[in-house]
Structure 1
Amino acid sequence: MRKVIRHIGLIIYFHVPKSGLDIMKLDELVNKYYKCLNDNDLYIWNYISNHRKECENLAIDQLAYKCNVSRTTILRFAQKLSLKGYGELKVYLKLDNERTKENVNNLEAVCDTYNEVIKNIKDKDCTDIFKVIDKAKTLYVYGIGMIQSSIKKEIKRTFLAAGKVFYDLSGYTEANALVDIAKEDDVFIIISMSGENQFILDFAKNLKIRNVPIISITKLKENSLAKISDYSLYTYTVLIPKIFNDVDFESLTCYFILIEILFLKYMEYQTQKKKKEEQNEIRSID
């Protein structure tokens, strides 16, 4: 979509994303390119992350002054996130801010969140994730807590229909025992809402030392587990404060939506893979 600005007889065209749902959030970009960021970049991101609304309206020189870096450093930070420049960084920030505006209609907020999860996982290229799952000799799913337990059961139940057996790891003792025998041809799906549980982070780091592939499922925000993981899947939750008897309600259905669509995409991947194998077999006979 092209946006037009008319100013003193000039017409300026520039491209903006069609929808906030069509692009990654800034947190996701930071997770994806975290290894490319230096200390200055992380300081810039920390300032932006803590002053999102303010930074939406700052010129590049103003942000550089507040972060005590050069405007070139700000520009390089944006480029390291695969953005064309500071202008595009501000567009992403504006869209992020629009997404997080408080919605007084709880029903609409929850439904919008469902739609966003569906859109993001539907459009995500999961080919590499499916390849590593197919190559794995043993598949594990790990998470700590009651909610994570339900999500693990859903992964096991869903993928069993495709002949993929995930072994459910629970607690600390079992994880510590297994990490010593984990191999490169194993795959771990690790579930953590915050992505900051210290035991899980230590567990993931030990797996990385052994070159064991990790697929993380976390909330969409900058988090340590996503940075460690080889592949990251994100979901969203909606917190509705004091919905009944001063008890907060957090909708977690998005995790199950994510798993179901991921499974459907996996089945589609298998179908296409089988077609290609059949075509190659026919060509070899000819």
Structure 2
Amino acid sequence: MLFLDKTIELNDTEMTIYHYVVGNLDTVIYMRIRDLADATHVSTTTILRFCRKFGCNGFSEFRVKLQMYAQNRTKISVDMSDETTYIDFLKRTAQPEFKANIAQSAKILRDAELVLFVGIGASGIIAEYGALYFSSLFTLALHIEDPLNHPFYHLSSKISDKICLIAISVSGENEDLIKYIHQLKTQKCKIITITNSAKSTMAKLSDANIPYYINKEMYQEADITSQLPAVYTIECIAREIRTQIDREEK
């Protein structure tokens, strides 16, 4: 909430002040306390109470912190010039370790009759693409959009060992996905994870992990780490399986 890293409780009047400050950030940092009070139709005493809730002794301190917050927002930029991250990743895909991880995942998936894809946020969109791509090249694959509302407590033991979950996560530390993986592991389902690091919790819980190791990027509070490695990895696995099947059928 503004320059705080937590949410604080505001009453209706204070919420009115908050919305005005957020909507007029560049103006408020130059206002006097009387100016803000007049603009929000409250007393200066109310403005002072509002400032104290943000951990400030008075309006002057609030205004300084607000100005620093506004400056930090404008300093954040996205670097589009550095392509070495992608080039380095693509070079690593030609290395024996990456190929071995692809081969291990393909071997597990060859025995699966149902493939499930899951991810949260941007990784969820990649998971949806993965389900479509796998269904086109290999076998039926489904995207689990909301893992918490798709439990597998009553999964039949006759099919559980024929299910493989492919979980996608940059951090590999998403609590919801970790719980979901634990749930499916108790049902003897196979787990494949695609993460940024092999040291993540999800990677350690999986039967096979394919890490891609690229720089994590943040813009303000959003994780904008590239999903290119995840997409490439999914396509590599599916194409490897399709190649194996075609080779056997000849």
Report the TM-score range of the alignment, normalised by the length of the smaller protein: 0.5 to 0.7
Q: Distance in 2 between matches of 1:130 and 1:203?
A: 22
Contact in 1 for aligned 2:195/2:210 (Cα 8 Å): yes
Give 1:271 deviation, angstroms: 2.4
Instruction: Output aligned runs, 1:112-191, within 5 Å.
Output: 112-120=87-95, 123-124=99-100, 126-145=102-121, 147-176=122-151, 178-181=152-155, 183-191=160-168
Q: Does structure 2 retain, via aligned residues, the 8 Å contact 1:109–1:238?
A: no
Report what 1:262 is aligned to. 237
TM-score (norm 2): 0.57
Amino acid at match of 1:129: S
Does 2:210 match 1:236? no
Alpha-carbon distance between aligned partners in 2 of 1:211 and 1:249, rounded to the nearest angstrom: 34
Cα-to-partner distance string for 1:87-132 (whole Å, 9 max, x where unaligned):
xxxxxxxxxxxxxxxxx99434233233235324763254443233
**2:245 is matched by which residue type in structure 1?**
Q
Q: CA deviation at 1:259?
A: 1.7
Q: What pairs with 1:1-286 in structure 2 (closer than 5 Å)?
A: 106-120=81-95, 123-124=99-100, 126-145=102-121, 147-176=122-151, 178-181=152-155, 183-239=160-216, 250-275=225-250
204-213 vs 247-256, greater mean Cα deviation: 247-256
Q: Deviations over 1:166-202 (max 9, x none)?
A: 11112243332x3432612211111122111222212
2: distance between equivalents of 1:181 and 1:248? Answer: 34
Distance 1:109 1:200 in 2: 30
Shift, 1:138, TM fit: 1.9
Residues 209-228 of structure 1: CA distance to partner in whole angstroms, max 9, x if unpaired?
Answer: 22111111111241111111
Contact persistence 1:114–1:254 (CA under 8 A): yes
Once residues 188 and 169 of structure 1 are traced to their aligned partners in structure 2, the CA distance between those partners, rounded to angstroms, is 10
Runs (5+) with no aligned partner, structure 2: 1-78
% of aligned pairs identical? 18
8 A contact 1:142–1:190 mirrored in 2: yes
- Matched residue SS, 1:217: strand
Equivalent pair of 2:198/2:210 in contact (CA under 8 Å): no
Aligned length: 168
Look up the SS of the partner of 2:199 in the other structure: coil
Gaps of 5+ in 1: 1-103, 276-286
More strand by share: 1
* 2:154 alignment partner AA: D
The answer to whether the 8 Å contact 1:195/1:218 transfers is: yes
TM-score w.r.t. length of structure 1: 0.51
